[in-house]
Structures are given as structure tokens and as C-alpha cells.
Chain A
């Protein structure tokens, strides 16, 4: 690398850092700073250092608002995310496994349905009608089932591409050892999917945790609030209490941030998986 090339790399790099800081970091810094201000200063909505730090009192006030609504919402969101992602992953892996391994006249139809699941916007009110008919409308199990149904397609595609790389000889050896389909799948194949499962879990957890539309439609009512709907409702209640509103926003940003710090590479792998095989 020549000297000028290095200088240029520095120049472009610094410019990029500066621009990225303004465009991408300032909004997050704004959230953080406003969350730490007192009510009066936060109301000015400017980008400034807090004159006094009210981080902890703001945090406590937000958590206590509306009878600890946010804590309830966190519990609900956790239940929702953990159960739906767990179920989704197991069911999708089963489908992907058979779909990849066994050529049958069903394959065309199933491939078509999987793609439809990615493209077609779900029909809202008819879904409510079905849920209501099953007695699941407005219940947590109902919403979990919804998230599973809407998330299956992505997982199936992800898993199928990965299972294609697992040699068939493994299956045959297991079958010769007398393993039935269940044992073959859960004891031989499923453990081999570990890395792609982590990807699916991470990506889908973020998706489900951040989901706003489905809880809005399928789990109405304040006792059932999830984190996203709670934030949305608070935005009305805290219309002018910006220190609390932004503390709230900060709190919804934390779980994805943790995910990001731990699984940065995984998420990146998952998001691009399969997309770029051309």
C-alpha cells in the first residue's frame, strides 16, 4: 500500500466515522441523554449534557408507572419470545428435514406454501375470527401460535439450506443402527443444526421481541401488554414527559443491544444466509 493510498484510507475512514456518528449515533445518544435529564430540561428536546443526572429516579418512575406495567410487559414479551421461537424452531426443522431429504409429490406444494408465507401479508380480521373460534383470541397461547405460524417460512428456508450440507450417509448409518425417524431427527440431525439454530433463534427472537403489529391485533388489552405495545401506549401518556418517554425507549432498546453485543456475527450470518448464494 502506498503512502497516498494509506492517507486516503485514513481520510475516507475519518469522514465515514464522522458522518456515521452524526447519522447513526446521535439519535441513540439523544435517547440516552434525554433519559437521564430531569423533566424540565428534557422538555426542551435539545441535544445537551444533562445538568443533573436523574437516570435512576426516571428509571424507577417508568417501572412503577401504571402499576408496574412495564415489568408485566417484559414478563409477557419474554414468555412470548421464548415459547414461540422454541416451538417455531423445532417445527421448522422437522419440515425442513423431510422436505430436503425426501422427494415426493408434496414438495412442490410445500415449497410454494413456504414462499407464500414470506410474501403474503396475513389477513388480519379473518385471523382474529379463526382465533376467536378456537377460543384463543386475546390470549398468550394464541399470540404464540400466530408468531409460530408467521415465522415458520423463514426458519424452514434457513434450515433446509443447511440440512443440504449434512451428508446423507449419517442418516443411513443411524437407520442401520435401528434408529426410528424420531431418534434420527432429534438425536442425529437436530444436534448437527446447532449453529444454524442459534442463528434462527437470535434472528427470530429479535423479530418477535420487536413485533408490534401482531400483539396490537391479536393480544389487545392492557393486562396483556407486550413491551412494544406498552411503549406505544406510554407515548400517549407521557406525551410531554420526555424524560420518561425516552427512558422507556431506552429500555426497549436494551435487549436487542445485548443480543447484538453477544451475537453480532451470528446475526449477520443469519440475515444474509441463503440470500447470496448466486
Chain B
């Protein structure tokens, strides 16, 4: 008898233990009145600050609604989490997620609430609209700002060496030669964090599309390839040339983003091809360099067609699982995000990295030089394009490793481009796109 009791107790204990996993510490203090909206954002410093800022302002203006920010990991782990929670109907009431191809992969028509009928829909910037539209329906409000994939450069170093912003690749390489002679690392690379290796390829897309306007379309349809389109291959070649000429920083193979940012701010490195958004990280550590760091697009062959490749803001979306009064509250919250007050709330919470996607939102006067530089390209007609990942659902997962290989001299550019085409093929086949099987 004793044995049975012991066994039962053991089983019960095991079940009790295994049934619960410690989800989070700290209490959730629901006061019972009004609606509580959960809002999930990724845990990057900038995004979580902006989300907190938005929630604070919104809560102050809407007494009946409380928005609570929840964070999730970034990168593929975060992607998996979002997809799993959406498909199990267990998503937060509102969530932030990439726009473009990643958003298309969420099966928006099935999993998200469309927002075309909302009054603010007409006030969105066209580029952003494209990147959160699926099957002619609009699904998100812009969270954050435009970003550019470009070359950040140290203006003081440029001044000291009497350099001019290059508009062609040859001018860029000539600048590099002078910088190297002056003892400055011309191009900073940070393969310690592999994603940072991709900008010479991804940020070159404006030049690709300028040379061949239908590239995105043909690429999605399996009719254009990186390896066989000279303009597209150029990105890989640039990576190779920079390494072959010895223009990278000495620790390019192990440097992390932080190291690269430090080198750029201190002027031991001159150029850093990266997403403009990292300027907020740079200014976090080196606030005095606000006007020292500037930006120019990755130069191509033709000075006349040179322009900027931009990344659309992320979106704030409502999942289909949000219903009833929560849905009404969520719509209100999205309207707030897509209003000038929402832009202001985000701008107050953190350093602004680029222009907003909502009409009527103005940038503060004291924006960093990088943003001013970006704005000139965005304002000039035809001088900016969305990055390929917003125009095509096809993006291979191994690009960062391939770029590291090409950029470290392990693999030649044509070979790298060919390998990437293979990688892309796997992705397209997995998505079941027409023309790829």
C-alpha cells in the first residue's frame, strides 16, 4: 500500500513539475477596468524603446486602454516564434514584424486583420504600402522609420584627406587607395556578426534596378540570376575587390558590429557599408559624432543613375485572433501609430534613424547627419529604390555566409553568385513559387 501511495505521489509530483514551466516572473497587475492590449516587438534597443514610448503616450491619451509591451528575440528565432504563435492562434493583440517578404511569409490574408478601411490608410507613403500589401489588401501601420543600406562614412576623415563623396565605384576605389596610403582602414567589415557582410550585395540593389528595371520581377519568376546579370553580379565583385586590394580593417574577420561602429566613430576606419539604423547605436556610445558620420549610396557604374537602396519600416499588425473590444482598441492603437503624434512619440523615445512613412510626420531639426543625407536621396525623384526583399519573396538564407566567403577571399565572386542562385532556388521551391520546380 505504502508503495502505491509513494508511486502516486511521485507521479503527481512529476506531472505538477512538468506541467508548468516558469513563463515569467513578476505579477501582471490587471486592475480589471478597461481593455489591456498586449503588444509584441523585437528586443532590439531601438524598437523596444519606440514601443514603450508609443505605449506610454497612447495610454496617457486613452484612459480606457492599457497597452503592454512584450519583447521577443530577433532573427530567425523570432521569426519562428511569430509564425508559431500566429498559427496556434496565441499571438499578442498587436505585434510588430518586418514588412516585405518576411511579412508575406506570414500568410497575411489568413492570419492578419486587413486595415484598408482605416482612415489613416490613405496617408501612408507608397513604398511602405507596397511592402505591407498582400493580394491588394493593406495589413500594417508603419513602425519605426525608413532605413538605408548604404555606406556610412566619417566626414572628418574625408575632410582631412581632401576627399569628395564618390558617385561611381571607380571613384570610391580611388578614395580607398588614398585612405590606405594615409594609414586609415578604407572599408570596415565586421564578419564577427555575419549579417553585416551582406550590404555590398543587398545595398547595391538600386544600381541593379537602374541598369535593369525588370530585374525583381524576372528574378521572382526564375528568369534572371545573380550570376548571369552583370549589374547584380557587381555586388559580389565589389566585395571581392575590396578584400583583394587589402582595403579592409585588419580585424575584419573577427570584428563585431560594436567594434566596427567604434572604428568608424574614431576615424580609424573610413567607410562602413551597413544599414543606416545602426547610427542610433553609434550615437549611443559616441553622441558627439552626430554630425561627423554621413552617408552615401553604394556607388555603381553610372554616376547619373547612382541612388539609395532603402528598407521600408517594420509594420504593426493585428492578428486574426484579436476580436471584440480588443479589436476596436487595437485599431485605435494602430491609428495612433500611423499619426503624427505616433511619430512624435517614437522620435521622443529614441534617436531617429530615418524618415517616417506617414504623411505629416516631420523629423526633428536635430536629426543626425546620416538622416539628412538619406533625406536628400529620398526626396529626389528616381534616386531611391526599395530593397529587393520588399519586391520579391525570394531571399536565400545563406547569403551572409556566402558574402563572408567572398569578402574574405575564400570564394571568388562569380562562384559566390552562383552559389547564392542555388540557395535562392531552394527557397523559391520551398515557397512553391511558380516557375521554379
Interface residues, chain A, with chain B CB atoms under 8 Å away: 66-68, 71-72, 75-76, 79, 82-83, 86-87, 90, 138-141, 144, 182-183, 186-187, 220-224, 233, 239-240
Q: Using Cβ atoms and an 8 Å threshold, which residues of chain B touch A66? A: 43, 71
Query: Does B22 lie within 8 Å of A233, measured CB to CB?
Result: no
Q: Known contacts A72-B24, A222-B72: does B81 contact A83 (CB below 8 Å)?
A: no
Q: Using Cβ atoms and an 8 Å threshold, which residues of chain B touch A239? A: 193, 256-258
Q: Using Cβ atoms and an 8 Å threshold, which residues of chain A touch B259? A: 240
A240 to B17, CA, bound (A): 37
Among the listed B18, B26, B256, which residue makes an inter-chain contact with A67, where contact means beta carbons less than 8 Å apart? Answer: B26
Q: Known contacts A141-B18, A220-B77, A220-B80: does B258 contact A186 (CB below 8 Å)?
A: no
Majority DSSP secondary structure for residues of A touching B: helix
Q: List B residues 236-274 near A (Cβ within 8 Å).
A: 256-259
21 contacts between A and B (CB under 8 A): A68-B26, A72-B22, A75-B22, A79-B17, A82-B17, A83-B14, A83-B18, A139-B21, A140-B18, A140-B21, A141-B19, A182-B3, A187-B3, A220-B84, A221-B77, A221-B81, A221-B84, A222-B73, A223-B23, A233-B73, A240-B258
Closest to B76 in A: A220
The answer, yes or no, to whether B10 is at the interface (CB within 8 Å) is yes
Query: Does A68 lie within 8 Å of B25, measured CB to CB?
Result: yes
Q: Using Cβ atoms and an 8 Å threshold, which residues of chain A touch B181? A: none
The answer, yes or no, to whether B20 is at the interface (CB within 8 Å) is yes
The answer, yes or no, to whether B7 is at the interface (CB within 8 Å) is yes
Closest to A144 in B: B18
A186 to B7, CA, bound (A): 9
Query: Does B3 lie within 8 Å of A87, measured CB to CB?
Result: no
Q: Using Cβ atoms and an 8 Å threshold, which residues of chain A touch B17? A: 79, 82-83
A-B complex: 10 closest residue pairs judged by Cβ atoms: A140-B21, A75-B22, A240-B258, A141-B18, A72-B22, A83-B18, A68-B25, A223-B23, A83-B17, A144-B18
Closest to B14 in A: A83
A135 to B24, CA, bound (A): 22
A144 to B26, CA, bound (A): 25
A261 to B316, CA, bound (A): 52
Give per-residue flags for B40-72: 1 if the beta carbon is below 8 A from chain A beta carbons, else 0.
000100000000000000000000000000011
Query: Does B25 lie within 8 Å of A71, measured CB to CB?
Result: yes
Query: Does A86 lie within 8 Å of B10, measured CB to CB?
Result: yes
Q: Using Cβ atoms and an 8 Å threshold, which residues of chain A touch B80? A: 220
Query: Does A67 lie within 8 Å of B24, measured CB to CB?
Result: yes
Q: Using Cβ atoms and an 8 Å threshold, which residues of chain A touch B84? A: 138, 220-221
Among the listed B19, B21, B22, B81, which residue makes an inter-chain contact with A220, where contact means beta carbons less than 8 Å apart? Answer: B81
Closest to A68 in B: B25
Give per-residue flags for B1-32: 1 if the beta carbon is below 8 A from chain A beta carbons, else 0.
00100010010001001111111111000000
Among the listed B14, B23, B77, which residue makes an inter-chain contact with A87, where contact means beta carbons less than 8 Å apart? Answer: B14
A76 to B17, CA, bound (A): 10
Q: Using Cβ atoms and an 8 Å threshold, which residues of chain A touch B3? A: 182-183, 186-187
A153 to B7, CA, bound (A): 23
Give per-residue flags for B69-96: 1 if the beta carbon is below 8 A from chain A beta carbons, else 0.
0011100010011001000000000000
Q: Using Cβ atoms and an 8 Å threshold, which residues of chain B touch A87? A: 14
CB distance from B53 to the nearest CB of A (A): 19
A220 to B23, CA, bound (A): 13
CB distance from A197 to the nearest CB of B (A): 14
A141-B18, A220-B80 are known contacts; what are 14 more A-B pairs with Cβ within 8 Å? A66-B71, A71-B25, A72-B22, A75-B21, A76-B21, A83-B17, A86-B10, A86-B14, A140-B19, A187-B3, A220-B77, A220-B84, A222-B72, A239-B257
Query: Does B256 lie within 8 Å of A240, measured CB to CB?
Result: yes
Query: Does A79 lie within 8 Å of B7, measured CB to CB?
Result: no
A67 to B73, CA, bound (A): 13
A186 to B72, CA, bound (A): 46
Closest to A73 in B: B22
Q: Using Cβ atoms and an 8 Å threshold, which residues of chain B touch A186? A: 3, 7
Q: Known contacts A66-B43, A86-B14, A240-B258: does B81 contact A79 (CB below 8 Å)?
A: no
Q: Using Cβ atoms and an 8 Å threshold, which residues of chain A touch B43? A: 66
